[in-house]
Chain A
Protein backbone atom coordinates (compact mmCIF):
# COMPACT_ATOMS: atom_id res chain seq x y z
CA UNK A 1 0.00 0.00 0.00
CA UNK A 2 1.33 3.44 -0.85
CA UNK A 3 1.43 6.00 1.90
CA UNK A 4 1.63 9.64 0.89
CA UNK A 5 2.86 10.73 4.34
CA UNK A 6 6.17 8.90 3.85
CA UNK A 7 9.20 10.91 2.74
CA UNK A 8 10.09 10.55 -0.96
CA UNK A 9 11.64 7.18 -1.90
CA UNK A 10 14.79 8.67 -3.41
CA UNK A 11 15.65 10.46 -0.18
CA UNK A 12 15.21 7.38 2.05
CA UNK A 13 16.93 5.02 -0.42
CA UNK A 14 19.89 7.13 -1.50
CA UNK A 15 19.99 10.36 0.50
CA UNK A 16 20.02 8.90 4.00
CA UNK A 17 22.68 6.20 3.38
CA UNK A 18 24.94 8.78 1.68
CA UNK A 19 24.50 11.25 4.55
CA UNK A 20 25.27 8.50 7.08
CA UNK A 21 28.46 7.47 5.26
CA UNK A 22 29.65 11.09 4.98
CA UNK A 23 29.01 11.64 8.70
CA UNK A 24 30.98 8.53 9.67
CA UNK A 25 33.95 9.55 7.47
CA UNK A 26 33.72 13.04 8.97
CA UNK A 27 33.82 11.59 12.48
CA UNK A 28 36.87 9.47 11.58
CA UNK A 29 38.61 12.58 10.16
CA UNK A 30 37.65 14.67 13.22
CA UNK A 31 39.09 12.12 15.66
CA UNK A 32 42.46 11.89 13.86
CA UNK A 33 42.62 15.70 13.71
CA UNK A 34 41.61 16.48 17.29
CA UNK A 35 43.76 13.79 18.86
CA UNK A 36 46.60 14.41 16.40
CA UNK A 37 46.99 10.71 15.58
CA UNK A 38 50.04 9.81 13.46
CA UNK A 39 49.11 8.36 10.02
CA UNK A 40 51.23 5.34 10.93
CA UNK A 41 48.72 4.43 13.65
CA UNK A 42 45.48 5.70 12.13
CA UNK A 43 45.59 7.54 8.83
CA UNK A 44 43.03 10.29 8.19
CA UNK A 45 40.80 10.06 5.11
CA UNK A 46 43.07 12.38 3.01
CA UNK A 47 46.07 10.11 3.74
CA UNK A 48 44.09 7.15 2.48
CA UNK A 49 42.99 9.00 -0.66
CA UNK A 50 46.62 9.99 -1.15
CA UNK A 51 47.83 6.38 -0.84
CA UNK A 52 45.13 5.26 -3.25
CA UNK A 53 46.05 7.85 -5.89
CA UNK A 54 49.68 6.70 -5.80
CA UNK A 55 48.79 3.48 -7.63
CA UNK A 56 45.07 3.26 -8.42
CA UNK A 57 45.45 0.78 -11.29
CA UNK A 58 47.38 -1.67 -9.15
CA UNK A 59 44.84 -1.43 -6.34
CA UNK A 60 41.89 -1.90 -8.69
CA UNK A 61 43.57 -4.94 -10.24
CA UNK A 62 44.12 -6.50 -6.82
CA UNK A 63 40.54 -5.62 -5.84
CA UNK A 64 39.35 -7.33 -9.01
CA UNK A 65 41.20 -10.52 -8.06
CA UNK A 66 39.75 -10.52 -4.56
CA UNK A 67 36.30 -9.73 -5.96
CA UNK A 68 36.50 -12.70 -8.32
CA UNK A 69 37.57 -15.11 -5.56
CA UNK A 70 34.82 -13.76 -3.32
CA UNK A 71 31.98 -13.97 -5.82
CA UNK A 72 32.97 -17.40 -7.15
CA UNK A 73 33.15 -18.68 -3.55
CA UNK A 74 29.86 -17.01 -2.70
CA UNK A 75 28.19 -18.43 -5.80
CA UNK A 76 29.38 -21.99 -5.22
CA UNK A 77 28.45 -21.82 -1.54
CA UNK A 78 24.98 -20.48 -2.36
CA UNK A 79 24.18 -23.24 -4.83
CA UNK A 80 25.72 -25.96 -2.64
CA UNK A 81 24.15 -24.82 0.62
CA UNK A 82 20.66 -24.43 -0.86
CA UNK A 83 20.85 -27.85 -2.54
CA UNK A 84 22.03 -29.47 0.69
CA UNK A 85 19.27 -27.68 2.64
CA UNK A 86 16.66 -29.02 0.20
CA UNK A 87 18.08 -32.51 0.63
CA UNK A 88 17.98 -32.22 4.41
CA UNK A 89 14.46 -30.78 4.26
CA UNK A 90 13.33 -33.73 2.15
CA UNK A 91 14.43 -36.33 4.65
CA UNK A 92 14.20 -35.99 8.41
CA UNK A 93 16.36 -39.10 8.76
CA UNK A 94 19.21 -37.63 6.73
CA UNK A 95 18.89 -34.34 8.62
CA UNK A 96 19.03 -36.04 12.03
CA UNK A 97 22.03 -38.12 10.93
CA UNK A 98 24.15 -35.41 9.41
CA UNK A 99 23.31 -32.19 11.21
CA UNK A 100 25.51 -32.69 14.30
CA UNK A 101 28.47 -33.27 12.00
CA UNK A 102 27.64 -30.19 9.93
CA UNK A 103 27.30 -28.03 13.05
CA UNK A 104 30.56 -29.44 14.38
CA UNK A 105 32.45 -28.78 11.16
CA UNK A 106 31.17 -25.22 11.20
CA UNK A 107 32.61 -24.72 14.68
CA UNK A 108 36.14 -25.56 13.47
CA UNK A 109 38.06 -22.27 13.14
CA UNK A 110 38.55 -21.92 9.39
CA UNK A 111 41.72 -19.86 9.87
CA UNK A 112 43.31 -22.92 11.44
CA UNK A 113 42.52 -24.87 8.28
CA UNK A 114 44.22 -22.35 6.00
CA UNK A 115 47.67 -24.00 6.06
CA UNK A 116 46.01 -27.38 5.44
CA UNK A 117 44.19 -25.98 2.43
CA UNK A 118 47.53 -24.99 0.96
CA UNK A 119 48.63 -28.59 1.36
CA UNK A 120 45.44 -29.93 -0.21
CA UNK A 121 44.96 -27.66 -3.19
CA UNK A 122 48.33 -25.94 -3.47
CA UNK A 123 49.24 -22.28 -3.73
CA UNK A 124 46.68 -21.29 -6.30
CA UNK A 125 43.53 -19.13 -6.27
CA UNK A 126 41.39 -22.22 -5.59
CA UNK A 127 42.59 -22.18 -1.97
CA UNK A 128 41.17 -18.67 -1.52
CA UNK A 129 37.89 -19.57 -3.20
CA UNK A 130 37.68 -22.63 -0.98
CA UNK A 131 38.19 -20.51 2.11
CA UNK A 132 35.44 -18.14 0.97
CA UNK A 133 33.11 -21.13 0.44
CA UNK A 134 33.88 -22.57 3.87
CA UNK A 135 33.09 -19.34 5.65
CA UNK A 136 29.77 -18.55 3.99
CA UNK A 137 28.36 -22.04 3.43
CA UNK A 138 26.90 -22.61 6.88
CA UNK A 139 24.90 -19.39 7.33
CA UNK A 140 23.19 -19.97 3.97
CA UNK A 141 22.51 -23.61 4.87
CA UNK A 142 21.00 -22.80 8.26
CA UNK A 143 18.96 -19.89 6.92
CA UNK A 144 17.54 -22.04 4.11
CA UNK A 145 16.74 -24.92 6.47
CA UNK A 146 15.02 -22.53 8.87
CA UNK A 147 13.03 -21.02 6.03
CA UNK A 148 11.98 -24.38 4.65
CA UNK A 149 10.73 -25.53 8.03
CA UNK A 150 8.83 -22.32 8.82
CA UNK A 151 5.86 -22.92 6.51
CA UNK A 152 2.72 -21.78 8.38
CA UNK A 153 0.51 -24.67 9.49
CA UNK A 154 -2.55 -23.34 7.66
CA UNK A 155 -0.71 -23.26 4.33
CA UNK A 156 0.56 -26.78 4.94
CA UNK A 157 -2.93 -28.04 5.74
CA UNK A 158 -4.34 -26.24 2.70
CA UNK A 159 -1.81 -28.02 0.48
CA UNK A 160 -2.63 -31.37 2.10
CA UNK A 161 -6.36 -30.83 1.63
CA UNK A 162 -5.62 -30.49 -2.10
CA UNK A 163 -3.60 -33.75 -2.01
CA UNK A 164 -0.55 -31.85 -3.23
CA UNK A 165 2.52 -34.06 -3.61
CA UNK A 166 5.71 -33.41 -1.65
CA UNK A 167 7.31 -31.80 -4.68
CA UNK A 168 4.24 -29.64 -5.49
CA UNK A 169 4.08 -28.42 -1.91
CA UNK A 170 7.81 -27.79 -1.94
CA UNK A 171 7.87 -25.76 -5.16
CA UNK A 172 4.59 -23.89 -4.71
CA UNK A 173 4.55 -23.29 -0.96
CA UNK A 174 7.65 -24.14 1.06
CA UNK A 175 10.40 -22.75 -1.17
CA UNK A 176 8.73 -19.39 -1.92
CA UNK A 177 7.89 -19.04 1.76
CA UNK A 178 11.55 -19.71 2.64
CA UNK A 179 12.92 -17.03 0.30
CA UNK A 180 12.97 -14.16 2.84
CA UNK A 181 14.92 -16.38 5.27
CA UNK A 182 17.29 -17.52 2.53
CA UNK A 183 18.05 -13.89 1.77
CA UNK A 184 18.94 -13.25 5.41
CA UNK A 185 21.55 -16.01 5.05
CA UNK A 186 22.78 -14.63 1.72
CA UNK A 187 23.21 -11.13 3.16
CA UNK A 188 25.25 -12.45 6.09
CA UNK A 189 27.26 -14.60 3.68
CA UNK A 190 28.33 -11.70 1.44
CA UNK A 191 30.66 -10.27 4.08
CA UNK A 192 31.81 -13.72 5.21
CA UNK A 193 32.83 -14.64 1.67
CA UNK A 194 35.04 -11.52 1.49
CA UNK A 195 36.58 -12.37 4.86
CA UNK A 196 37.23 -15.91 3.62
CA UNK A 197 39.01 -14.73 0.48
CA UNK A 198 41.14 -12.32 2.54
CA UNK A 199 42.10 -15.04 5.05
CA UNK A 200 43.30 -17.08 2.10
CA UNK A 201 45.25 -14.17 0.66
CA UNK A 202 46.86 -13.26 3.98
CA UNK A 203 47.92 -16.86 4.43
CA UNK A 204 49.86 -16.81 1.21
CA UNK A 205 50.28 -13.18 0.09
CA UNK A 206 50.69 -13.07 -3.64
CA UNK A 207 47.72 -11.46 -5.31
CA UNK A 208 44.59 -9.65 -4.12
CA UNK A 209 43.82 -6.98 -1.53
CA UNK A 210 44.82 -9.31 1.31
CA UNK A 211 48.34 -9.38 -0.12
CA UNK A 212 48.31 -5.57 -0.37
CA UNK A 213 47.39 -5.35 3.32
CA UNK A 214 50.07 -7.88 4.21
CA UNK A 215 52.86 -6.16 2.24
CA UNK A 216 51.93 -2.64 3.38
CA UNK A 217 52.23 -3.94 6.95
CA UNK A 218 55.78 -5.03 6.19
CA UNK A 219 56.68 -1.64 4.72
CA UNK A 220 54.87 0.27 7.52
CA UNK A 221 52.61 1.90 4.91
CA UNK A 222 49.43 2.07 7.00
CA UNK A 223 47.61 4.48 4.62
CA UNK A 224 48.04 1.91 1.83
CA UNK A 225 46.61 -0.83 4.06
CA UNK A 226 43.67 1.47 4.76
CA UNK A 227 43.18 2.13 1.07
CA UNK A 228 42.89 -1.63 0.55
CA UNK A 229 40.55 -1.94 3.54
CA UNK A 230 38.38 0.84 2.17
CA UNK A 231 38.08 -0.96 -1.15
CA UNK A 232 37.08 -4.10 0.77
CA UNK A 233 34.45 -2.12 2.65
CA UNK A 234 33.06 -0.74 -0.60
CA UNK A 235 33.05 -4.24 -2.07
CA UNK A 236 31.25 -5.61 0.98
CA UNK A 237 28.60 -2.90 0.86
CA UNK A 238 28.13 -3.40 -2.89
CA UNK A 239 27.65 -7.17 -2.51
CA UNK A 240 25.31 -6.71 0.43
CA UNK A 241 23.14 -4.20 -1.40
CA UNK A 242 23.10 -6.31 -4.54
CA UNK A 243 21.46 -9.01 -2.40
CA UNK A 244 19.03 -6.44 -1.01
CA UNK A 245 18.15 -5.40 -4.56
CA UNK A 246 17.73 -9.01 -5.69
CA UNK A 247 15.49 -9.65 -2.69
CA UNK A 248 13.28 -6.71 -3.62
CA UNK A 249 12.89 -8.09 -7.13
CA UNK A 250 12.29 -11.72 -6.13
CA UNK A 251 10.38 -11.30 -2.86
CA UNK A 252 8.44 -8.05 -3.13
CA UNK A 253 5.60 -9.48 -1.03
CA UNK A 254 7.74 -10.17 2.05
CA UNK A 255 8.13 -6.51 2.99
CA UNK A 256 4.42 -5.98 2.56
CA UNK A 257 3.31 -8.77 4.90
CA UNK A 258 5.92 -8.15 7.59
CA UNK A 259 4.98 -4.44 7.88
Chain B
Protein backbone atom coordinates (compact mmCIF):
# COMPACT_ATOMS: atom_id res chain seq x y z
CA UNK B 1 0.00 0.00 0.00
CA UNK B 2 2.85 2.36 0.86
CA UNK B 3 6.28 2.20 -0.71
CA UNK B 4 9.06 4.41 0.60
CA UNK B 5 12.18 4.42 -1.55
CA UNK B 6 15.49 6.19 -0.86
CA UNK B 7 13.71 8.87 1.14
CA UNK B 8 15.77 11.83 2.33
CA UNK B 9 14.62 15.01 3.97
CA UNK B 10 16.79 17.92 4.99
CA UNK B 11 15.59 21.09 6.70
CA UNK B 12 17.29 24.45 6.63
CA UNK B 13 18.33 25.17 10.22
CA UNK B 14 19.81 28.28 11.78
CA UNK B 15 23.28 26.72 11.80
CA UNK B 16 23.23 25.01 8.43
CA UNK B 17 21.11 22.18 7.04
CA UNK B 18 19.62 19.59 9.41
CA UNK B 19 19.22 16.06 8.11
CA UNK B 20 15.91 14.78 9.45
CA UNK B 21 15.73 11.53 7.47
CA UNK B 22 18.44 9.64 5.57
CA UNK B 23 17.93 6.98 2.95
CA UNK B 24 14.77 5.40 4.28
CA UNK B 25 13.37 2.33 2.49
CA UNK B 26 10.18 0.69 3.66
CA UNK B 27 7.27 -1.29 2.22
CA UNK B 28 4.02 -1.25 4.12
CA UNK B 29 1.50 -3.91 3.10
CA UNK B 30 -2.22 -3.37 2.59
CA UNK B 31 -3.98 -3.57 5.95
CA UNK B 32 -0.73 -3.57 7.88
CA UNK B 33 -0.37 -1.75 11.18
CA UNK B 34 3.11 -0.25 11.29
CA UNK B 35 4.30 1.45 14.46
CA UNK B 36 7.20 3.90 14.18
CA UNK B 37 9.18 4.51 17.34
CA UNK B 38 12.33 6.40 18.09
CA UNK B 39 13.77 9.04 20.37
CA UNK B 40 12.77 12.69 20.06
CA UNK B 41 14.15 14.30 16.93
CA UNK B 42 14.56 11.06 14.99
CA UNK B 43 12.29 12.30 12.19
CA UNK B 44 9.17 10.27 13.03
CA UNK B 45 6.83 13.18 12.47
CA UNK B 46 8.76 14.22 9.36
CA UNK B 47 8.24 10.71 7.95
CA UNK B 48 4.50 10.97 8.58
CA UNK B 49 4.28 14.40 6.95
CA UNK B 50 6.18 13.12 3.93
CA UNK B 51 3.75 10.20 3.53
CA UNK B 52 0.85 12.64 3.97
CA UNK B 53 2.21 14.89 1.23
CA UNK B 54 2.32 17.87 3.59
CA UNK B 55 6.03 18.40 2.88
CA UNK B 56 8.02 17.34 -0.19
CA UNK B 57 11.00 14.97 0.09
CA UNK B 58 14.48 16.34 -0.51
CA UNK B 59 15.29 13.12 -2.34
CA UNK B 60 13.60 9.79 -3.01
CA UNK B 61 9.88 9.15 -3.14
CA UNK B 62 6.79 7.90 -1.39
CA UNK B 63 4.17 5.87 -3.26
CA UNK B 64 0.68 5.33 -1.90
CA UNK B 65 -1.45 2.77 -3.79
CA UNK B 66 1.14 2.88 -6.55
CA UNK B 67 0.99 6.66 -7.05
CA UNK B 68 3.72 9.07 -6.18
CA UNK B 69 2.67 11.40 -3.34
CA UNK B 70 3.07 15.08 -4.15
CA UNK B 71 0.23 16.57 -2.14
CA UNK B 72 -2.36 15.41 0.44
CA UNK B 73 -4.64 12.62 -0.82
CA UNK B 74 -8.27 12.15 0.09
CA UNK B 75 -7.81 8.47 0.84
CA UNK B 76 -5.06 9.24 3.35
CA UNK B 77 -6.30 10.59 6.68
CA UNK B 78 -4.31 12.11 9.52
CA UNK B 79 -4.80 12.05 13.26
CA UNK B 80 -2.67 14.50 15.18
CA UNK B 81 -1.27 14.62 18.68
CA UNK B 82 -3.87 17.21 19.60
CA UNK B 83 -7.48 16.66 18.49
CA UNK B 84 -7.44 19.85 16.32
CA UNK B 85 -11.22 20.19 16.51
CA UNK B 86 -13.01 23.41 15.57
CA UNK B 87 -14.33 24.71 18.91
CA UNK B 88 -17.44 26.34 17.39
CA UNK B 89 -18.64 23.18 15.65
CA UNK B 90 -20.58 20.39 17.29
CA UNK B 91 -19.03 16.93 17.46
CA UNK B 92 -21.08 15.81 14.44
CA UNK B 93 -20.15 18.90 12.41
CA UNK B 94 -16.49 18.37 13.24
CA UNK B 95 -16.69 14.78 12.00
CA UNK B 96 -18.40 15.99 8.79
CA UNK B 97 -15.76 18.67 8.08
CA UNK B 98 -13.81 16.55 5.54
CA UNK B 99 -17.08 15.79 3.71
CA UNK B 100 -17.75 19.53 3.36
CA UNK B 101 -14.22 20.32 2.26
CA UNK B 102 -14.32 17.54 -0.34
CA UNK B 103 -17.49 19.17 -1.69
CA UNK B 104 -19.72 16.17 -0.98
CA UNK B 105 -23.29 16.15 0.35
CA UNK B 106 -23.46 16.23 4.14
CA UNK B 107 -26.79 14.44 4.21
CA UNK B 108 -25.33 11.40 2.46
CA UNK B 109 -22.61 11.03 5.06
CA UNK B 110 -24.57 11.86 8.16
CA UNK B 111 -25.49 8.24 8.86
CA UNK B 112 -21.91 7.16 8.38
CA UNK B 113 -20.79 9.85 10.83
CA UNK B 114 -23.34 8.71 13.39
CA UNK B 115 -22.19 5.08 12.98
CA UNK B 116 -18.59 6.14 13.57
CA UNK B 117 -19.57 8.09 16.68
CA UNK B 118 -21.41 5.02 17.90
CA UNK B 119 -18.43 2.79 17.15
CA UNK B 120 -16.18 5.01 19.26
CA UNK B 121 -18.67 5.24 22.12
CA UNK B 122 -19.70 8.82 21.38
CA UNK B 123 -23.36 8.23 20.57
CA UNK B 124 -25.36 10.83 22.46
CA UNK B 125 -22.59 13.43 22.15
CA UNK B 126 -23.20 14.43 18.52
CA UNK B 127 -24.69 17.83 19.42
CA UNK B 128 -22.10 18.74 22.06
CA UNK B 129 -19.28 21.22 21.52
CA UNK B 130 -15.69 19.91 21.82
CA UNK B 131 -14.94 21.79 25.06
CA UNK B 132 -17.75 19.88 26.76
CA UNK B 133 -15.86 16.62 26.16
CA UNK B 134 -12.85 15.12 27.95
CA UNK B 135 -9.49 14.96 26.18
CA UNK B 136 -9.93 11.28 25.40
CA UNK B 137 -13.37 11.85 23.90
CA UNK B 138 -12.05 14.76 21.82
CA UNK B 139 -9.39 12.49 20.39
CA UNK B 140 -12.09 9.91 19.54
CA UNK B 141 -13.91 12.67 17.62
CA UNK B 142 -10.75 13.41 15.67
CA UNK B 143 -10.46 9.66 14.95
CA UNK B 144 -14.03 9.70 13.59
CA UNK B 145 -13.16 12.73 11.46
CA UNK B 146 -10.30 10.73 9.95
CA UNK B 147 -12.47 7.64 9.40
CA UNK B 148 -15.30 9.53 7.64
CA UNK B 149 -12.93 9.84 4.66
CA UNK B 150 -13.01 6.00 4.41
CA UNK B 151 -9.24 6.23 4.18
CA UNK B 152 -7.05 3.53 2.69
CA UNK B 153 -4.26 4.78 4.92
CA UNK B 154 -4.43 6.37 8.34
CA UNK B 155 -1.42 8.33 9.58
CA UNK B 156 -1.36 8.85 13.33
CA UNK B 157 1.14 11.18 14.98
CA UNK B 158 1.43 10.25 18.65
CA UNK B 159 -2.34 10.44 18.89
CA UNK B 160 -2.60 9.36 22.52
CA UNK B 161 0.46 11.06 23.98
CA UNK B 162 -1.44 14.06 25.37
CA UNK B 163 -3.83 11.83 27.33
CA UNK B 164 -3.61 10.35 30.81
CA UNK B 165 -2.26 6.80 31.12
CA UNK B 166 -5.59 5.00 31.57
CA UNK B 167 -7.35 6.83 28.74
CA UNK B 168 -4.34 6.12 26.56
CA UNK B 169 -4.62 2.36 27.14
CA UNK B 170 -8.37 2.46 26.63
CA UNK B 171 -8.03 4.26 23.31
CA UNK B 172 -5.22 1.98 22.16
CA UNK B 173 -7.40 -1.08 22.75
CA UNK B 174 -10.22 0.66 20.90
CA UNK B 175 -7.96 1.52 17.97
CA UNK B 176 -6.99 -2.16 17.77
CA UNK B 177 -10.67 -3.10 17.54
CA UNK B 178 -11.29 -0.50 14.81
CA UNK B 179 -8.24 -1.70 12.88
CA UNK B 180 -9.40 -5.32 13.06
CA UNK B 181 -12.88 -4.26 11.95
CA UNK B 182 -11.94 -1.91 9.08
CA UNK B 183 -8.58 -3.32 7.99
CA UNK B 184 -7.21 0.14 7.21
CA UNK B 185 -3.46 0.46 6.69
CA UNK B 186 -2.10 2.42 9.65
CA UNK B 187 1.21 4.17 10.25
CA UNK B 188 1.32 4.96 13.93
CA UNK B 189 4.06 7.15 15.39
CA UNK B 190 4.52 6.70 19.12
CA UNK B 191 6.96 6.98 22.02
CA UNK B 192 5.31 4.10 23.79
CA UNK B 193 6.77 0.61 23.43
CA UNK B 194 3.64 -0.73 25.11
CA UNK B 195 1.38 0.80 22.46
CA UNK B 196 3.63 -0.40 19.66
CA UNK B 197 3.59 -3.99 20.91
CA UNK B 198 -0.16 -3.94 21.48
CA UNK B 199 -1.06 -2.55 18.08
CA UNK B 200 1.57 -3.21 15.47
CA UNK B 201 2.28 -5.97 12.96
CA UNK B 202 5.76 -4.52 12.63
CA UNK B 203 7.65 -1.85 14.53
CA UNK B 204 10.05 0.42 12.67
CA UNK B 205 12.72 1.64 15.07
CA UNK B 206 14.35 4.87 13.91
CA UNK B 207 17.67 6.18 15.17
CA UNK B 208 18.25 9.89 15.57
CA UNK B 209 20.37 12.55 13.84
CA UNK B 210 19.98 11.80 11.06
CA UNK B 211 16.85 9.67 11.19
CA UNK B 212 17.58 6.24 9.76
CA UNK B 213 15.78 2.94 9.89
CA UNK B 214 17.56 1.10 12.68
CA UNK B 215 15.55 -2.11 12.63
CA UNK B 216 12.18 -3.55 11.67
CA UNK B 217 10.82 -5.74 14.45
CA UNK B 218 8.01 -8.23 13.75
CA UNK B 219 5.30 -8.57 16.37
CA UNK B 220 3.95 -12.06 15.81
CA UNK B 221 1.32 -12.11 18.49
CA UNK B 222 -2.25 -13.11 17.56
CA UNK B 223 -5.00 -10.49 17.83
CA UNK B 224 -6.95 -9.31 19.72
CA UNK B 225 -4.15 -8.45 22.10
CA UNK B 226 -4.49 -6.85 25.50
CA UNK B 227 -2.44 -4.98 28.04
CA UNK B 228 -1.55 -6.80 31.23
CA UNK B 229 -1.89 -10.54 31.78
CA UNK B 230 -2.46 -12.70 28.74
CA UNK B 231 -1.35 -15.90 27.08
CA UNK B 232 1.57 -14.27 25.28
CA UNK B 233 3.32 -12.59 28.18
CA UNK B 234 6.71 -14.03 27.30
CA UNK B 235 6.59 -12.89 23.68
CA UNK B 236 5.40 -9.42 24.71
CA UNK B 237 8.22 -9.21 27.24
CA UNK B 238 10.82 -10.37 24.72
CA UNK B 239 9.74 -7.91 22.03
CA UNK B 240 9.44 -5.05 24.52
CA UNK B 241 12.91 -5.80 25.83
CA UNK B 242 14.30 -5.82 22.30
CA UNK B 243 12.67 -2.48 21.50
CA UNK B 244 13.99 -1.04 24.77
CA UNK B 245 17.45 -2.20 23.87
CA UNK B 246 17.19 -0.69 20.38
CA UNK B 247 15.94 2.64 21.69
CA UNK B 248 18.23 3.02 24.68
CA UNK B 249 21.27 0.96 23.70
CA UNK B 250 24.55 2.85 24.21
CA UNK B 251 25.65 2.84 20.60
CA UNK B 252 22.64 4.95 19.60
CA UNK B 253 23.13 7.63 22.21
CA UNK B 254 24.74 10.83 20.95
Contacts and interface: CB of A to CB of B under 8 A. Distances in A.
Interface stretch (B28-36, B84-92, B115-123, B178-186): B84-92
A164 B101 contact: yes
Nearest to B73: A163
B125 interface: no
A154 B131 contact: no
A172 B97 contact: yes
Q: DSSP class of B's interface residues: helix, strand, loop or mixed?
A: loop
Where chain A touches its partner, the secondary structure class is helix
Interface in A164-207: 164, 168, 172-173, 176
Given A161-B78, A172-B100, A1 B72 contact: no
A157 B131 contact: no
A68 to B, nearest CB: 33
A155 to B, nearest CB: 5
B72 A162 contact: yes
A162 B82 contact: no
B88 A161 contact: no
Given A172-B86, A176-B88, A154 B129 contact: no
A251 B88 contact: yes
Chain B interface residue bracket vs A: 20 to 34
B54 A256 contact: no
Interface string A137-168: 00000000000000010110111111110001
A213 B13 CA distance: 62
Contact of B54 (A161, A173, A176, A254): A161
B242 interface: no
Contacts of A164: 101
A172 B205 CA distance: 38
Contacts of B52: 161
A34 interface: no
A161 B86 CA distance: 15
Nearest to B132: A1
A152 B82 CA distance: 11
25 contacts: A154-B82, A155-B86, A157-B54, A157-B80, A158-B78, A158-B84, A159-B101, A161-B72, A162-B97, A162-B98, A163-B71, A163-B72, A163-B101, A172-B86, A172-B97, A172-B100, A172-B101, A176-B86, A176-B88, A251-B88, A253-B88, A254-B87, A256-B87, A256-B129, A257-B87
Interface of B: 52, 54, 71-72, 74, 77-78, 80-82, 84, 86-88, 97-98, 100-102, 129, 131-132
